[in-house]
Amino acid sequence: MNDAIEDSRMKEWRTTVSGKIFGKLEEIAKQAGVLCRVEGPGKMIEVIYFGDKEVYLRKHLRNATVGESGGTIELFAESMDYRKYPWWKEAIDAEGKSVAFMDTPVNVAAQEADIENYGDLFRPSLIMKRYGMTDENNPVRLIDGREITIQSMKSVIDPLVAPDYKLDYYDDLIRLVPQTPEAVESRKARNAAYERALEGLKKAAPLLEEEYKRRFEELAKK
């Protein structure tokens, strides 16, 4: 009985946008001779494996009123994966405009800019660890550390990637959020706006360490 219910749910899921994308990916995987599988079909985060690579489809509720029903579920893919993997691009494109794109995490952009030790400068978890702000038994310290890291990044990077982008923190990552039509297009393909942003990140790298040090030293004095 349980297997029958599971099969019925899977069959129904395959009629959704996520299911159709996965179905297309199965076709591509078969032609490429690689394995393809999905974890969490129908859930808010669906993990899809293509050979040894993994990508995500995320669902967000838009235009919903607090305490009331309604709103629209939108499906998102990571723009960085769409640009990186041709097989993922092909599967998503087969569904036309049904998928929106999440903005590139700034640490990923820094890696693409070939910045040495990009993780030490652009990944909040590593920055907070270096300055001793990762004590899980002290939630106030965690919050302070995260806020200082985010504000430090914004103060240094935003002027260097403007007017095309600004930084914003959502879905647990600090991301480059497009502010111009050209930058919006960079979600799907690297273009001049994105290249300018990468140059801005290169200029930001030597300034970030000084900003982190200054702000965390000010916090220690309080």
Using one digit for the tens of pLDDT, what is the confidence trace for 153-166? 999 999 999 999 99
Q: How many domains are there within the chain?
A: 2
pLDDT tens by residue, 29-87: 999 999 999 999 999 999 999 999 999 999 987 655 544 444 578 999 999 999 999 99
pLDDT tens readout for residues 198-216: 999 999 999 999 999 999 8
115-168 tens-digit pLDDT: 998 999 999 989 988 888 877 777 888 888 889 999 999 999 999 999 999 999
Task: Give phi and psi for 120, each to the nearest 5.
Answer: -65, -20
Cβ of 85: how many Cβ atoms within 10 Å? 15
Max intra-chain CA distance, the chain? 64
Distance of CA 166 to the CA centre of its chain: 15
Q: Are residues 137 and 204 in the same domain?
A: yes
Residues 152 and 137 in one domain: yes
Q: What is the pLDDT of residue 192?
A: 98
Domain boundary among 102, 119, 152: 102
Spatial distance between the Cα atoms of 20 and 18, rounded to a whole number of angstroms: 5
CA-wise closest residue to 127 among 38, 5, 212: 212
Yes or no: say if 62 and 71 are a contact pair by the CB < 8 Å rule: yes
Query: Domain check: are 97 and 138 in the same one?
Result: no
Which residues 6+ apart lie within 8 Å of 110 measured at CB? 118, 121, 122, 201, 205
**In this structure, are 112 and 214 located in the same domain?**
yes
Model confidence at 98, in pLDDT bands (50, 70, 90)? confident
Quick one: 93 and 113 in the same domain?
Answer: no
Domain boundary among 102, 133, 164: 102
Domain that includes residue 201, residue range: 106-221
Write down the H helix ranges in 71-188.
Answer: 79-84, 86-93, 106-112, 118-122, 124-130, 139-161, 181-185
Same domain, yes or no: 14 and 88: yes
pLDDT range class, residue 6, cuts 50, 70, 90: low
Pair (11, 53) in one structural domain = yes
Q: pTM score, two decimals?
A: 0.86
